[in-house]
Amino acid sequence: MTTLVFTHSACIKHEPGPGHPESPARLKAVLAALDAPEFAGLERREAPPAEQAQIARVHPANYVTMILEAIPASGYYGIDADTIVSPGSGEAALRAAGAVCAAVDAVMAGEASNAFCAVRPPGHHAEPSRAMGFCLFNNIAVGAAHAKAAHGLERVAVVDFDVHHGNGTQAMFWDDPSLFFGSTHQMPLYPGTGSVTERGIDGNIVNAPLSPMAGSAEFRAAMSERILPALSRFGPEFIFVSAGFDAHEADPLASLRFHEDDYAWATTRLLEVAEKSCAGRLVSTLEGGYDLSALANSSAAHVRALMAA
């Protein structure tokens, strides 16, 4: 079966301002990489906007309204020091969350075995009532809630290999034993959460922090010894991936030393668990990654592995 890619031109129109690392050029670089002939077999679909009710499964409804009303008609508005919105940000944020829901629907319908959402703004730092870290709505958590609510799934997992801890996803999953969150990330680093002692309920949160300068060997050990065994024990009916590529050694925002082939390796391992546990059902969405060349190459390695499933 095929791999789907969900994206939308509106996601390029979210402009956080000159010099901001979470730039429209990021998504352009990812999409350009996926234009290579080897990716001709991908099926591309436009990401629909999420319904506000879908987002309100993980954020209070008045938070959703507040974010959309904060979008300026011109210029920029800073929700916090580094989370900046501009006129195109509302539609981009709705389509970023909607992409993950549509990807879930397509995979559940058997239209594809897996999917990658090439969207921005990213989502994993967005807490229930707080936008932060370039994130407005928690796209992956919206997708996980959609898998449960719209498809009746009872065990849904997110694995997050972005270099930053997915504090927002963890907060949303914290006391719900039907949800699993496993994360590798650099520590210490923004946002400061993600220690091994943060374990949620029934061990449904598994944090595997990595020291600055850790590379392929440490990442693969953390995945093989901590994240993947816990994920397998959880027995997910659907696996989501918060695919941030800022742990790459070229990334300017952190100091881990992953390579493109680490992302291919991790993707293949996650697909193996998905194959055993849930007929291969897996949806991945773009989070961080701020060196354009590393981001493009790493995304390509990730999607190449998805297509090989």
Residues that bind Zn ion (CB under 5 A): 162, 164, 244, 246, 288
The partner residues of 77 in beta bridges, in order of sequence, read: 85
* CA–CA separation, 202 and 164 (whole Å): 24
**C-beta of 103 vs 132, nearer to Zn ion:** 132
**C-beta of 155 vs 164, nearer to Zn ion:** 164
**C-beta of 71 vs 266, nearer to Zn ion:** 266
* CA–CA separation, 171 and 173 (whole Å): 6
* CA–CA separation, 95 and 99 (whole Å): 6
Q: Which residue is nearest to Zn ion (CB)?
A: 288
CB of 62 to Zn ion, least distance (A): 27
Question: CA-CA distances (angstroms) from residue 117 to 84, 131, 208?
Answer: 22, 20, 25
CB of 139 to Zn ion, least distance (A): 14
**C-beta of 8 vs 164, nearer to Zn ion:** 164
CB of 244 to Zn ion, least distance (A): 4
Three-class secondary structure of residue 158 per DSSP: strand
CB of 110 to Zn ion, least distance (A): 32
Question: CA-CA distances (angstroms) from residue 116 to 23, 52, 209, 248, 254?
Answer: 19, 22, 25, 19, 24
CB of 121 to Zn ion, least distance (A): 12
**C-beta of 91 vs 246, nearer to Zn ion:** 246
List, as one string, the DSSP characters of 166-213. Answer: -HHHHHHHTT-TTEEEEEEEESS-TT----TT---STT-EEEEEE-TT
122: closest CA among 220, 218, 11? 11
**C-beta of 95 vs 164, nearer to Zn ion:** 164
CB atoms within 10 A of CB 269: 18
* CA–CA separation, 6 and 103 (whole Å): 7
CB of 179 to Zn ion, least distance (A): 21
* CA–CA separation, 22 and 11 (whole Å): 12
Q: Which of 125, 164, 185, 259 is catalytic?
A: 125
- Please name the residue that has the structure tokens 């719900």: 176
CB of 240 closer than 8 Å to CB of 157: yes
> Catalytic: 8?
no
Catalytic residue numbers read 125
